Amino acid sequence: MASMGEGLAIVPTAPEAIRNRDSHYPYRFDSYFYYLTGFKEPESVLVLLGGAQPKTILFCRDKDMEREIWDGFRYGADAAKEQFGFDEAYSINQLDAVVLKLLANQPKLYFSLGENAIWDGRVTGWLNSLRNQARTGVSVPDDVRDIRKLVDEMRLYKSPFEQEIMRQSANIAASAHNRAIHFAKPNMMEYEVEAEFLHEFYRKGAQAPAYTSIVAGGANACTLHYNANNCVLKAGDLLLIDAGCELDGYASDITRTFPVNGKFIGAQKDVYELVLASQLAAIAKVNTSNHWNAPHEAALDVLIQGFIDLKLCKGSKESVLENGDYRQFYMHRTGHWLGLDVHDAGEYKYAKAKNQQDNWRALQPGMTLTVEPGCYIRPADNVPEAFWNIGIRIEDDVLVTQHGCEVLTSNAVKSIADIEALMQY
Ligand code: GLY
Ligand code: MN
Ligand code: MN
């Protein structure tokens, strides 16, 4: 509210989504609304009044014994105000009437324009209603801004409270990966392994997977967003699992790659060691002396040298970087912010930097990001056959600290020796 100045912010939560007929998808609140309220019920709206006398106002569903018998507990406005500490709370049925009063004569409106067409219509309807009252002396906000811009800056820096939830989310996902690695054997189906880590997510209290899980055996790992997860796992193939959970709204995001039969061999081993070396080099750059892109640059440096050494790329490190030949095997970036959303809020560059080439954000304590280099080798004439269909990614979640970084997902096995040992017994 301090960053808003004079004005009104309207932040609706996410709508419920129907799966088919009267069955819904599991409900997930809007991340901005949840960040500002901690309130998880659908059909809720937060209104923030900025200026000299700031105020937080919640609109939520009424208590309703009939609905509560069918669907479960609802706070209702009075209990929500009391327990969540809003200044005021009203029934969601009063939204039109109360918002019209609050919005009148405000200089600015903050809203996430374009996020949801129904809310866009409702908000422009309120503005038009006020315009219709112009002759009674009511003024209408003529400055409509995106509330997300302000909140993104806050979401980027995780508070100690958020860091602790992310630590727990990461720990659950790490033990889920260990469970899956230990369980996987030749001739299983990809989905059988998926069932193992999902079991661990739910058993440890996570509410959902944080995104669609990737369980990709052999060549499937070279499809970056593969998620059919329905193929048989063959001895001699690698298995790439990209899976994380959501705990109390916060995502973890881990990738591990390991041999289905428990032993890295030949080219698989060479490429795994290369990707691991690039990931460790990238993690070493996660500290407050560096900007956002430093880990990516470090990973690329190691990968490109490795591609040359393995004869996957030709030329010097500089020329392969310059001409982009490495993109045949490494076509994504090395990470993203992580938080309430798996690809979390926050700018990666400073908007107003003078030099557009070099305006990556400085890393600062409280930021959380993934570090996830990989290598994906599809069959091609310019590639020795021993490398065909190897797809490897190694992904950890990292918190920037005062003196370096904390790898939140360090409990998931990663070295060749640790993976092979876990698969032995
Ligand atoms: N699992 C999504 C990502 O790694 O970005
Ligand atoms: Mn990721
Ligand atoms: Mn991932």
- Provide the CATH number for the domain around residue 415: 3.90.230.10
- Last-in-domain residue among 154, 173, 189: 154
Q: Say whether pLDDT at 355 is over 70.
A: no
**Residue 3 falls inside a structural domain:** no
**Active-site residue, from 177, 179, 256, 336:** 336
**Judgement on whether residues 300 and 185 belong to the same structural domain of the protein:** yes
Q: Give tens-digit pLDDT for 253-274.
A: 999 999 999 999 999 999 999 9
Span from the CA of 243 to the centroid of ligand 3 (angstroms):
6
Rounded mean pLDDT of the chain?
97
**Judgement on whether residues 168 and 148 belong to the same structural domain of the protein:** no
Active site includes 403?
A: no
**Judgement on whether residues 172 and 45 belong to the same structural domain of the protein:** no
**Judgement on whether residues 49 and 172 belong to the same structural domain of the protein:** no
Q: Which residues pair with 143 in a beta bridge?
A: 108
The domain in which residue 71 lies consists of 8-154
- Predicted pLDDT of residue 282: 99
Q: Which of 177, 197, 242 to mutate to test the pocket of ligand 1 (most atoms within 8 A of CB)?
A: 242
Q: How many domains does the chain have?
A: 2
**Judgement on whether residues 29 and 120 belong to the same structural domain of the protein:** yes
Give the whole-angstrom CA distance, residue 391 versus residue 225.
12
- DSSP secondary structure letters along 299-353: HHHHHHHHHHHTTSS-S-HHHHHHHTGGGGT--S-S--B-SSSSS-SS-SB-TT-
**Residue 1 falls inside a structural domain:** no
**Judgement on whether residues 169 and 314 belong to the same structural domain of the protein:** yes
Give the whole-angstrom CA distance, residue 101 versus residue 89.
15
Q: Give tens-digit pLDDT for 61-108.
A: 999 999 999 999 999 999 999 999 999 999 999 999 999 999 999 999
**Judgement on whether residues 173 and 121 belong to the same structural domain of the protein:** no
**Residue 2 falls inside a structural domain:** no
**Judgement on whether residues 143 and 210 belong to the same structural domain of the protein:** no
**Active-site residue, from 291, 332, 361, 378:** 332
**Judgement on whether residues 252 and 387 belong to the same structural domain of the protein:** yes
Span from the CA of 242 to the centroid of ligand 1 (angstroms):
7
**Judgement on whether residues 182 and 226 belong to the same structural domain of the protein:** yes
**Judgement on whether residues 351 and 370 belong to the same structural domain of the protein:** yes
* CA-372 nearest atom, ligand 1: 4
**Judgement on whether residues 271 and 150 belong to the same structural domain of the protein:** no
Regarding the beta carbon of 253 and ligand 1, being less than 6 Å apart is answered yes
Mean pLDDT of 349-366: 82
Span from the CA of 212 to the centroid of ligand 3 (angstroms):
9
Give the whole-angstrom CA distance, residue 219 versus residue 217.
6
Q: Say whether pLDDT at 356 is over 80.
A: no
**Residue 175 falls inside a structural domain:** yes
Supply the CATH number for residue 68's domain: 3.40.350.10
Q: How many CB atoms lie within 10 A of CB 251?
A: 28
H or E element that contains 401: strand 396-401
Regarding the beta carbon of 242 and ligand 1, being less than 6 Å apart is answered yes
- Last-in-domain residue among 154, 185, 215: 154
* CA-242 nearest atom, ligand 1: 1
- Last-in-domain residue among 92, 125, 154: 154
Burial label for 53, CB within 10 Å (0-12, 13-18, 19+), is exposed
